[in-house]
Amino acid sequence: MQVAKKCAVAIDYKLTIDGGIVVDASEKGEPLWYLHGAGNIIPGLERALEGLSPGDKKTVTVSPEDGYGTYDKAKVHDVPRAQFPAGDYKVGDHIIATAPDGTEVPARISATNTKAITLDFNHELAGKTLTFDVNVSEVREATKDELKHGHVHGPGGHHH
Ligand SMILES: [Zn+2]
């Protein structure tokens, strides 16, 4: 069976950036299951897997636009230290910021000085070209429930 819309697909994958830095990978024997055509995985990768069969291997290069977006300087904010609870804040730390409307947004500290802490709200992979080494391990028809829910059920998928 080939990868097409309404299929449940299992892939082994390795994601690298910047010429070989591994940022994510599936565990051996535990492929990632996703529902093809449902937007479960990033668009550039989903498109590239269309038509592949179990056993097929492919290296897929995904541009930032089809991946986690371009890097947006407007998403970087200097926040006065007075707005933070007392503590030690280091570059590279991840924090959860609370927006004025109360929603929680993940951010990364990208700089600090005595007066302010710079928060970067870009996705960590924003602006990165992504390289996926993918191996299609299984393809099957999705069940009615899976189609209704928009995700794969069972081992490797969603549990209710
Ligand atoms: Zn479900």
Distance 115 CA to ligand 1 centre (A): 47
Report pTM: 0.80
**Cα-to-centroid distance, 147 and ligand 1 (Å):** 9
Token pair recorded at residue 112:
């600090």
Alpha-carbon distance 51 to 39, whole Å?
A: 16
Q: Could you tell me which residues come within 8 angstroms of residue 113 by beta carbon, excluding any fewer than 6 positions away?
A: none
Taking phi over 0 as left and psi of -120 to 50 as alpha, with beta for the rest, 41 belongs to beta
Distance CA 46, CA 137 (A): 15
Whole-number Å distance, alpha carbon 93 to ligand 1 midpoint, is 34
Residues with CB under 5 A from ligand 1 (ion): 149, 158
57-109 pLDDT, tens digit each: 999 999 999 999 999 999 999 999 999 888 899 999 999 988 889 999 999 99
Ligand 1 centroid – CA 25 distance (Å): 24
